[in-house]
Structure 1
C-alpha cells in the first residue's frame, strides 16, 4: 500500500504539535529566571509554543482530511484551479492591484499595532533635529554614522514640515514601500512569465517574517532599507516594461535608470543595486534570447549599460568627495578591506542570519545565553552547516536539473543575496557567539532568498511530469510555508517588546514635554546668556527598562526645548561650565529633579587585561567605601576588578554618595550581564571602569562625600581591586 505525501505531512504536523507541547513544558520548567530577559523569553515562548501546537494540529487535520476525503480534495482542487486561472488570465494591472492588496492585508493583519501607532527610536530623534534644522544643501552633505542618505533627508524634511513628528503618519514611508517591494516582486515575476504561486511563496517566506515585522514598528532611521527594495523592484519592472513595450520604451527605460539612481541616493547600503541591475539585464537577455552569450547582452544593451556605469561612477565620486564637505564625520570606508574573517562572517550572515531567519528568527540570541551556550554551541554549528548544505543543494539542483528560468533566476537571486550578505559581513559583523544579526541588516538578503525560493517552487512544481508528482511537490511547498509561518509565530512574542517600546516612548515623550521642557525653557528665557546644561545618557533618560532612546541632547528639539547649549555626556567636570541658574533650580524644581537626580544606569567600559592583585571578599548588600570625600571640580573614573562565583546572569552594582541636592542613597548602578566583556573566557571576571561624571547628582554637586559601591545581586564575589582615578 502506497502512503500519500499528504498522510506523511499529516503525521509530521501531528508529531510536531505534540512536540511543541512538550517543549512548552520544558520551557515552563526552566526554573526561576535569572534576569528580566530570561523571564521575557520563558513567558513568551511558553505562550507561543502552545499557540504553535494548535496551528500545527490544525495543519495536521487539514492534510489528513485532504488525504482521506475525496470530496474535500476535489473541492480544494476546484477552488485552487479557479483562483489560479483567474490570476493567470487577468491583466497585469489587475494582477498588480491584487498583489498589492494581498500584501497590504497580510502585513496589516500581522503588524497592526506597530503600523497604527509607531514610535521614534534611537537615531530617529537625532535625524528629526538634523532634517528640520539644516538646509537642503547642507542635508546633501550630511551622513549619519556610516550611512549616506541625501534623498532620505529630503524626504524626512518634507514629511516633518507637513505633519511634524507624528509617528502614526510617519509609518507611511515604512508600510507603503513594504507593500510595493513584495507586491512589486510578484508583478515582476508575472512579467517574466511566472504564475500566481510566486505571490503566495513571497508572502509566506518574506511578508510573514519577523524581519519584515520589525520594519513596521517605527524606527524610521531604517526606512531607507525597505524603500531601496521597493524602488529597485520598480526599476526592474520598468526595465522589463521597456523591453516588452512597443510604445514609450525609452520613457520606461529612462524611468528605470532614474529609479536606480534613487536607490543609491536613498541609502549608501544600496551600493549593490547597479551590480544587481547589470546582472538582471544579463539574466533577462538569456531568458529572452535563449543564449548565454555575454557579447550579445553587451551589444543589445550598450546604451543602458553605459548609463548604469555613469550612475555608479557618479555616485562613487560623490562618496569620495563627501568627507571633504561633510558637516559630520563619515566612517563608511573604514571596513572595506576583505579578509578571511570577512568570508567567515559572510558564512554566518548566510546561515545563522538569513537562512535561520526563515525557520527560527532570533534563535541565536536565545542560544547565546550563558546557561545554554556551553552545551548548545557544538550542535549549533552542525545545524548551521546543515542549513548551508541545504541551500547549496537547492542552488545546485536549480543549475543542473531545473528549467531555463530556474537555471537563470535562482542563481541570480542567490548571487545578489550573497552580495548583500557580504555588505552585512563587512559593515555589521556580529559579536554574538551564535552570530545574531539585527532584523534590518537581514532585510536585503532575505528578500532575494524569498525570490529565489519563489522561482524554485514555481518551476519545481511546473516541471513535474505526472499529476501525482505535481501534487506531491505542491504539498511539499505548502508544508514548507506552514513551517515558516508557524516558526515565525513562535518568535512573534518579540512584537510585544516592540509594542512596549511604543507605549513607553509615547509616555516618556509626553511626560518630558509636560515637565522637563517647560522647566528648561523657563530657565533659558530668563537667562541673559545661553543656558549651559549637561546632557543625560540614554540609560538615565529611559530609567529602568530596555527601551531604545538616545541621550537627551539628541531629542531635545523633538520635545520642544529651546535656547539650551548641551554639554556632552563625557565633557566633565560640569560644575564650572554648567549655568549656575540650572544648578540652583536643581535643588528645588521637582520637574528637573525627576530626570536629573534619578537612579540611572552607567555605561561600563570593560577590558580583557586583569590588573587587581587583592582577594577581598565582597559580600552582597555590604557597601565598599571608595572615598570619604571627592573634589568634583576634577574628572573621576571608577576602576574595579571583580570575580563572580555562583552569581546569576546579571549582576547589579549600586553607587551611592551624599551630595548638595539632598538626593542621597543610590544615584546610579552598573549592570554586568552576558554582553559584558569578561577578562577571561573560562571565568566571570570583570575588569571595568565607569565615568562618574555621567551621574548628574555627582558631577553637579560642589561637595560629594561617602562614595560607596554595593553589589546587590546574590552570589560570591572577590574584589581583586578598585581605585578612583582623578584628573
Structure 2
C-alpha cells in the first residue's frame, strides 16, 4: 500500500523527471498549436508579426528538443550523469588555480558561442553606429571624446574603441562582433573569479553562467548595434572591478589596484550611465568590512576600521570620481552645454507630465515594472512586452499586467525570505549588497529614463545591470539550497535551470528578428556602397569632378521600408566616399541634425544638378534608388480654408488630372474611415511625372499605432502629408493624373479631401 510518506518520497526521488517531462509536454503542445496556426491571419500586421511568429516556432522547436533530450537523459542515464558530475567536480578540484581559471574561461567562451554564435557572423552596424564611425573620421579623436552622443551620452572609451577598430579593419563587421562577443563572454569568467573569493561553489557558478549567458535578451547588444554594447561593457568593467577589489582585499597586492582603477575608469568612460559603479563599489567595500563582524550592528569602530582598511581603493575611487566630474563639466558645460538629460525637458513633454513622472507613486510603479518585467520576468519570457504593447492586444493585457507584476514581486519576496532564513551572516550581508546594487541601478534608470506606459518595455539597456546582480542572487539561492537539501537540491536546481534556458529560446523571437534585420541591413548598406555611391563617382567624373548637387536619399528608400535607417548622408561619411557630391534636401524632408552635411534648399528641383536629373531618366542605380516606391511620413491633418474635393469613386480617387507645378501644390489632406479592427493597410499615390515612372510611387501606411478617433463605431483618421517628400514629385517640372488608391480592406472610405 502506498502511504503518504512513500508517495512524497517517490515524488522527491523523481522530481527532476516530473519537472522536465511536464515542461517538455507543455513546450511540445505549444509548438503544435503554433504550427497549426494560420500565418496568413497576420498579413494585416505586417512583416514583423510574421517574423515574430517564425521566431516563436523556431524557439519552441529548440525548447522542445532541449527539454525532451534532458528528460530522456534524466530518465535513462541519470546514474551516468551523476558520475559525470562527480568526476567533473573531482577533476576541477584537482587542478591548480591557473588551470582551473583556464578551464572555466574556455567553458565561458564555448557556452557563449553556443548560445549566441549567429551574432558573430550576422552582426552589422546599425543606426547610431554609422554616426559614431563617421564622426571619428572627420573630427580628431582628441576632440571627439568630449562630444556627447545624443543629448547626454558621454562615451569617450567607446569612441576610442570604434576609432581603433575602424583604423584596423574599416567596415568589416566581423572584428567588431568578435570584440564585443569576447567582452560578453568574459563577464561570467570574472564573476567566477569573484565567486571564488566569496566562497561560492562551482555548481552555483554554473547556474549563473546558464542564466546570464543563455539569456536571449542580450542579442540587442550582440547583433551589430555596437553602440548598445556600452551597457554590456559597463557590466563587464564592473565584474572586473569587483574581482580586482576582492583580490586586493585578500592579498593586498598593489597590482590588483591597477586592475581596480583601470576597470572603474572603463565603466565610467564607456558611458556616463556607468556612474552606478562608484556607489556599488563603495557598498562592496563596506560589505567586506561588515562581514568581519557576526552581527548587523553598526558601531563607530566599524566605520573607522572601514576607512583604515580601504584607504587605497577609496583614494583611487575619489580621484577617479573627481577626474570624471571634471570631464563631465567640460563635456556638458563647455563643449555641448544645456544637453544633459535634456530629454526630460523636451518641449514635447508637458510640465505636468514631467512633474507627475517624479512623484512617489509613478516612481514606485516604474520601479516595480522595471524589476518585475524588465529583470525577473525576462528570466523566463524576455521581450514579451514587445507583443503585449501592440495596440491590438494592449488594452486587454494592461488590465491584468499590474497583477502579474505584483505576483512576480511576491514570488521574489518569498525567494528572498527563503534565502535570508537559511543564509549565514556573511551570506545575508551579500544578499543585502545585491539588493542595494539592484536598487541603485533601477532607481537611476527610472529617474533618468522614466517609462510610464501601461506596459513598460525595459530592455537590457536599462535592466541589464540589475539582471546581472539578480543572476548572482539566484546563484546564491542555489548555493543555499545545495547546502540545506543536498539530496534533493540538484533534482530541483538542474531541471529548473534547464526549463529557464528552454523558455529563453521559446521567447527568443526578438533575437531572431535582430539577426534577420542585421542580415538585411548588411546587404542593403553594402549594395548602397557598391551601386549608388559608385554611380555617383562615375557621374562626377563625367562632370570633371565639379561637385554634384544631389538630393539626400531617405532611409525608407535605402531599406525598402523593411526597417528603420539613417539617410544617405550618414553612409557617405561612413564609407568615407570621396565623390565630389553635395547633399541637399527641401524643407519638407526630415532635417539632418547630426551629420550637418546636408543643405536645405527652397527648391529641390532648381538646386539639383542637371546631370543627376538626366541620370534619373535612364535605367541604373540612381533611378532605382531615388524613384522606387516609398512611404511618406504624415501627421494629423490641420483645418483647411479650401473646399474639399469630391471623390469620383470609393477606391480610386483622382485628386487632380490636369498638369500643375508640384512646388505650388503638394499638400494632401483627407479623412479616412475604417472598421474598428486591428491591422495595417496602405494607401498609395500614383502620378504622371517627368521620369516616366508608373504605378505606385508613394505610400501611406496606416497601422494600429496611428492615432485615430472612434465615430459611429468606425475608426476615423485625419491624415496630412506633403508629396514633396517623393523625389519623382519634387524633381518634376509638371505633374498630372495625381491619384489616391484606397485598399479594399477594413471597408476603408476616404472623404473630405483637400489638395493645396
TM-score with structure 2 length normalisation?
Answer: 0.86
Name the CA shift for 1:632/1:222 in 2 (closer, same or farther; >3 Å). Answer: same
What SS is found at the alignment partner of 1:3?
helix
In structure 2, distance between residues paired with 1:166 and 1:348: 39
Q: What residue in structure 2 maps to residue 385 of structure 1?
A: 406
Counterpart mapping for 1:115-154 below 5 A: 115-145=120-150, 146-154=152-160
In structure 2, distance between residues paired with 1:556 and 1:349: 39
- Of the three residues 144, 166, 180, the one matched with 1:174 is 180
In structure 2, distance between residues paired with 1:702 and 1:329: 44
With 678-687 and 52-61 compared, the bigger mean Cα shift is at 678-687
- Residues 481-504 of structure 1: CA deviation (Å, up to 9, x unaligned): 112111011123444333322332
- Residues 329-373 of structure 1: CA deviation (Å, up to 9, x unaligned): 845354397334343223222122221211011222223344544
- Residues 468-491 of structure 1: CA deviation (Å, up to 9, x unaligned): x22222222212211211101112
- Of the three residues 727, 732, 740, the one matched with 1:701 is 732
Q: What residue in structure 1 maps to residue 281 of structure 2?
A: 277
2:539 maps to 1:532: no
What SS is found at the alignment partner of 1:642?
strand
In structure 2, distance between residues paired with 1:540 and 1:447: 40
Query: Offset at 1:324?
Result: 4.1
2:376 maps to 1:355: yes
With 329-338 and 114-123 compared, the bigger mean Cα shift is at 329-338
Q: Is the 8 A contact 2:374 2:463 kept in 1?
A: yes
What SS is found at the alignment partner of 1:623?
strand
With 623-632 and 11-20 compared, the bigger mean Cα shift is at 623-632
Q: What residue in structure 2 maps to residue 690 of structure 1?
A: 721
Query: Offset at 1:160?
Result: 0.7
What SS is found at the alignment partner of 1:719?
strand
In structure 1, distance between residues paired with 2:637 and 2:545: 45
In structure 1, distance between residues paired with 2:500 and 2:439: 21
Q: What residue in structure 2 maps to residue 564 of structure 1?
A: 581
Query: Offset at 1:611?
Result: 13
In structure 2, distance between residues paired with 1:207 and 1:616: 61
- Of the three residues 661, 685, 690, the one matched with 1:660 is 690
Name the CA shift for 1:528/1:132 in 2 (closer, same or farther; >3 Å). Answer: closer
- Residues 62-110 of structure 1: CA deviation (Å, up to 9, x unaligned): 44447xxxxx44x433332332244345444333222221111011112
- Residues 253-298 of structure 1: CA deviation (Å, up to 9, x unaligned): 2431232122111111212111111111112222345565461323
What SS is found at the alignment partner of 1:272?
helix
In structure 2, distance between residues paired with 1:608 and 1:429: 31
Q: What residue in structure 2 maps to residue 39 of structure 1?
A: 50
Name the CA shift for 1:502/1:698 in 2 (closer, same or farther; >3 Å). Answer: same
* CA root-mean-square deviation: 3.2
With 209-218 and 102-111 compared, the bigger mean Cα shift is at 209-218
Name the CA shift for 1:505/1:245 in 2 (closer, same or farther; >3 Å). Answer: same
Q: What residue in structure 2 maps to residue 69 of structure 1?
A: none
2:560 maps to 1:543: yes
- Structure 1 segments unaligned to the other structure (5+ residues): 67-71
In structure 1, distance between residues paired with 2:274 and 2:577: 35
2:495 maps to 1:479: yes
2:31 maps to 1:24: yes
Q: What residue in structure 1 maps to residue 323 of structure 2?
A: 314
2:231 maps to 1:233: no
Q: What residue in structure 2 maps to residue 510 of structure 1?
A: 526
- Of the three residues 8, 14, 18, the one matched with 1:11 is 18
How many matched pairs? Answer: 711
Q: Is the 8 A contact 2:671 2:752 kept in 1?
A: yes
TM-score with structure 1 length normalisation?
Answer: 0.89
In structure 2, distance between residues paired with 1:4 and 1:153: 57
2:73 maps to 1:58: no
- Structure 2 segments unaligned to the other structure (5+ residues): 1-5, 346-353, 591-599
Name the CA shift for 1:575/1:323 in 2 (closer, same or farther; >3 Å). Answer: farther
Q: What residue in structure 1 maps to residue 514 of structure 2?
A: 498
What SS is found at the alignment partner of 2:717?
strand
Name the CA shift for 1:523/1:455 in 2 (closer, same or farther; >3 Å). Answer: same
In structure 1, distance between residues paired with 2:202 and 2:224: 31
2:102 maps to 1:97: yes
Query: Offset at 1:516?
Result: 0.6
Name the CA shift for 1:93/1:427 in 2 (closer, same or farther; >3 Å). Answer: farther
In structure 2, distance between residues paired with 1:214 and 1:704: 44
Q: Is the 8 A contact 1:144 1:328 kept in 2?
A: no
